[in-house]
Structure formats: C-alpha cells, structure tokens
Structure 1
Amino acid sequence: MSGLLEGKRLLITGIINYASIAFAVAQLAQQQGAQLVLTGHGRLHMVEEAARRLPQTPPVIELDVTRDEQLASLAERVGRHVPRLDGVVHAIAYAPHAAICDDFLAAGWADVQSTLQVSTYSLAALVGAALPLMHPGSAIVGLDFDAAVAWSGYDWMGVAKAGLEASARYLARDLGPRGIRVNLVAAGPLRTVAARGEPRFQDIVTAWHARAPLGWNPADAGGVARACVALLSDWFPATTGEIVHADGGFHAIGA
C-alpha cells in the first residue's frame, strides 16, 4: 500500500535538530513516501546531523531568508536534487529577546523588523523563490501558533504570527488560479529549541493541560506532523487559506 506522499518531492525548512517540529514532519513525510530537500541557516552541521537521523538522509542546502541572493538561487539549487516541488513546508521563525521578553513596549524597531522579516515576510519570500519548481497540485504548509489572542511572553512573535496568517490568505488568493494550495497548521506549545526563548512557555503549557479537551503532550509533535502531511497530500484538494488547529482542541474552549 503506497503512502500519502508517495512520489512527492518536498522542500522542508526550519529543522534545527531532531526536536524541531519540522523534523517530525520530515520523518513522517519520508515514511509516507516523499523525497526531501532540507534547508538550514547558520549552524548547518546541526541540520545535517538531524538529516542523518531520518530514515533516508536527504540533501541539505543553505537558506537565509534575509539574503536576496540565496532566495534568488534557491530554485536552481533545489533543482540539482529534484526536478520539481510538490510541496513546501515553512517552519521559519525568529525573534530577538527584546521582542519576546514579556514587555511589549521594550522592543525597538530593529527588533521588531527582524522578527517580522524572518517570521512573517519569509513565507512570501520562500514561496516566491520556490515557485519556479511548483505546479498545479502543489501545496504549501506553514507552521503557526494561534494569533487570535495575546499570549503572555509571546509579544511581537504573536504579531508576526498574525501577519503570517494574513499572508497565507493572500498567497492562497494569488496562487489558487495556479492550482497551488496554501494552508497553516496551528500547533499547541511544543518543547523545541525555539520554545526555550519564550519566558512564559511553561505557563502556556499549564493552560493547555487544563483546557485542551483531548489533552496535550508538549513533547509529542506527532499530531502536528500528521496534520502537515495530510495537507501536503492529495487528500485536501479543495482546501486553501485555512488554519488547521492541531492543539488538542484548546482553541475551541473558553476560559
């Protein structure tokens, strides 16, 4: 029996180590038959080490989404490994400490600008760079954290995620005529490298334990990975501009 992603070629960003949400997506995607190309930035050896822990070791290429020349050459560099892209996973986010220090007014424009460029604008930049390799039926999936409310300690990253959600809707509008779907998966709080920089992370996890009707395990990204793989597959051909919550149902329950 073939997997959900049999024969598909995917570009997956955002893996730092094996605890990254993107790693869980990559692992499940390979198990479901996908061929992968990974991107990394900075400590590329860490991404390469994580890649070796996957069922098959995929190629890793460098991508700094703030560098125009790397975006401009992305399609050519990915094309050395795969002839086309059936899916792209956007799992890129960053905020300086001042932008997520639990004091919303503490961040200056330089901090906010960096947060928005890497965590919000990068979705459109990545899609534009990968578009030459995409075709009708391709899918883009981004990782989100519900931006409908303000979270303690999330501050400008919350603003960036709200922008990410809006960006996904506009991309869905513009890419729909090309047959390309754009969706986000809003995960619950997971213990990743990025989570270590959030000062109120444990408070958010405690709230999830209390309110998520399905319960929540911050050490298990499996449910989020399955949602991403499903959206990358052919099983959601009429779904775009959507935010799928893989959060144990927390978003649906009032205080």
Structure 2
Amino acid sequence: MSGLLDGKCVLITGVINHASIAFGVAQRAQHEGARIVLTGHGRLHMVEHVAQRLPNPPPVIELDVTDAAQLASLAERTREFVPRVDGVVHSIAWAPPGAIGADFVAANWDDAARTLQVSTWSLPALAHALSPLMPPGSAIVGIDFDASVAWPGYDWMGVAKAGLEGAARYLACALGPRGIRVNLVASGPLRTAAARGEPRFDEIAAAWQARAPLGWDTADTGKVARTCVALLSDWLPATTGEIVHADGGFHVTGL
C-alpha cells in the first residue's frame, strides 16, 4: 500500500528531541514514504542522536537562520543528500527571556527583533534558500500557535506568530505562480522543549483540556504531525495561504 508521501523528499527543521512536533512530523513522513533531511542549530550532535530514533535515520545538516552564509549554502548542502525538495517543514521559533513571560511593554528592541528574525522572517528566508530545489507541486508547512488573540505571557512570541501568519499569506501569493503551496498548522499547546520557556503554559493547557470539543492531550504530537503530512501531500493541491487548526477544536469555542 502506497503512502501519502511516497517518492517525496522533505526537509524538516526544528527537531530538538523526540517530544518535538518536528520529530513527530519526521516520523510520520517516513511512515508515509518520504525521504527526509533534518536541520539543526548549535548542538548538532543532539539532533543527530534523536535522528537515530527514526525508522530510517536521516542526514542532519546545520542551519542557523540568522546566518546569511548558511542560508546561502543551504540548497547546495541539501542537494548532497536529496535531488530536490518536495516539502519543507518550518518549525523554528525562539525568544530571549526579555521577550516572553516578562513585561511586554518594557521589552527592548534587540530582544523583540531577535524574536521576529528567528520566528517570523525565517519562514520566507527558508523558502528563498530552498526555492532552487523546489519543483511545481511542492509544499511548505509552518508550525503556528493561534495569533488571533493575545495569550498570557506569550508576549513578543505572540507578535512573531502573528507576523508568521502574515508572512505565510504573502509567501503563498509569491510562490503560487510557481506551483508551490504555503500553509500553516496551528497546534494546540504541546509539552515540547519550547514550551518550557512559556511561563503560563500550564494555565493555557488547562483551558484547552477543559474546552476543546475533541479533547486535548499535551503529550500527543501525532495528530498535529498527521495534519502537517496531509498538507505536504498531493491531496490538497488547491489549498494555500491557509491556517489549518489542529487543536481539538478549541479555536471555535467561547467562554
């Protein structure tokens, strides 16, 4: 039986450990037949170690999205392992302590700018870097957290996610004529390594578990991963610029 991603080559960013959303996507993508490449930043050996937990341990290449030289060489370095890139998963977000869970109004520009560069600007930057390898029919999927409201303690990361949503729409318009789709998956709160930097995560998660019509398990990345894989596949060929919620339905509820 063929998989949704049979024959596709997918580059996945943001694998930190086995609890990360990106790891769940990598696992599901391989299950559906994809050949994958992972990227890591800084302690690359950690990503290489967690890659060994995948059914077919993939290559890992270094990518710091704030490093212009690494972005410029990304397509060439990726081509060493795959002939093309049919799918890209953007799972990159980071904020310094002064930009999240602190005093939103008092945050300095350096902290805010760093948050926006890593968490927002990196989406079009990644698309531009890999575009030479992306044929018509390719797909870019980014990991989002609903930015239509302000979340307690999320601060400049919330602003960055709002920017990510805007960037995805503009990117969808820019790449559409080339047959490349761009969509976001808005996940509910998951207990990943990134979540440890969110001081009011437990409060937000409790609200989700109480109100999501389908329920919500903060330890289960599988449902979000499946949604990402569906968007990477050929089954949504006319869908671009969308924010697909994989949040148990929380976003439709009121008080």
CA–CA separation in structure 2 for the residues paired with 1:182 and 1:197 = 27
**Superposition RMSD on alpha carbons, in Å?**
0.5
How many Å separate the matches in 2 of 1:209 and 1:81? 41
**d(CA) in 1 for partners of 2:29, 2:160:** 27
TM-score, normalising length: structure 2? 0.99
Q: Find the residue that maps to 1:245 and give its secondary structure.
A: strand
Q: Count residues with an aligned counterpart.
A: 255
* Match runs of 1:1-255 below 5 Å: 1-255=1-255
Distance in 1 separating the partners of 2:103 and 2:55:
42
Aligned-pair identity in percent equals 74
The answer to whether the Cα contact below 8 Å between 1:6 and 1:34 also exists between their aligned partners in 2 is: yes
Equivalent position amino acid for 1:115 in 2 = T
Which secondary structure does the structure 2 equivalent of 1:143 belong to? strand
The question of whether the paired residues in 2 share the 8 Å contact of 1:187 and 1:245 is answered with yes
**Following TM superposition, by how much is the alpha carbon of 1:210 offset from its aligned partner in structure 2, in angstroms?**
1.4
Do the aligned partners of residues 249 and 102 (structure 1) sit closer, same or farther apart at CA in structure 2, a change above 3 Å counting? farther
Q: Distance in 1 between matches of 2:218 and 2:97?
A: 22
* Matches of 1:40 and 1:190, distance apart in 2: 20
Aligned residue type for 2:182: V
Alignment partner of 2:184: what SS? strand
Deviation (angstroms), 1:98: 1.1
Q: Which runs of 5+ in 2 are unaligned?
A: none
Work out the CA distance in 2 between the residues paired with 1:98 and 1:106: 8
Q: Secondary structure at the match of 1:107?
A: coil
- Alpha-carbon displacement from aligned partner over 1:79-112 (angstroms, at most 9, x marks no partner): 0000001000000000011111242123100100
Deviation at 1:78, TM superposition (A): 0.1
Residue aligned with 2:183, SS:
strand
**Bigger shift: residues 3-12 or 99-108:** 99-108
In structure 2, relative to structure 1, the CA distance for the partners of 1:150 and 1:211 (3 Å cut) is same
1:106 and 1:50 mapped to 2: Cα distance? 38
Structure 1 residues 182-217: Cα deviation after superposition (integer angstroms, max 9, x where no partner): 000000000000000100000000110111000000
After superposing on structure 2, the runs of 4+ consecutive aligned residues of structure 1 that deviate more than 4 Å are: none
Contact 1:13 1:92 in 2 (8 A): yes
Q: What secondary structure does 1:14 align onto?
A: coil
Q: SS at 2:141's partner residue? A: strand
Could you tell me which amino acid in structure 1 is paired with residue 199 of structure 2? P
TM-score (norm 1): 0.99
Letter of the 2:73 partner, please give it. Answer: S
Offset, 1:36: 0.4
Letter aligned with residue 171 of structure 2: L
CA contact (8 A) 1:120 1:167 kept: yes
